[in-house]
Amino acid sequence: MKKNKILLIVILAFVLLLGGAYVLYNKLSPGVEHDQLAVQNEAQDQENSEDEEEKVLASDFTVYDREGNEIHLSDYVGKPVVLNFWASWCGPCQSEMPDFDEAYTELGEEVHFLMVNMTTSDRESFEKATAFIDEQGYSFPVFYDTDGDAAATYGVYSLPTTYFLDADGYGVARATGAIDRETLEKGIGMITEQ
Q: How confident is the model at residue 13 (pLDDT cuts 50, 70, 90)?
A: low
Q: How confident is the model at residue 168 (pLDDT cuts 50, 70, 90)?
A: very high
Work out the mean pLDDT of the chain and round it to a whole number: 85
pLDDT value, residue 14:
64
Strand ranges across the sheet with 142-144: 38-39, 171-176, 161-165, 81-86, 112-117, 142-144, 62-64, 70-72
Q: How confident is the model at residue 39 (pLDDT cuts 50, 70, 90)?
A: confident
pTM: 0.76
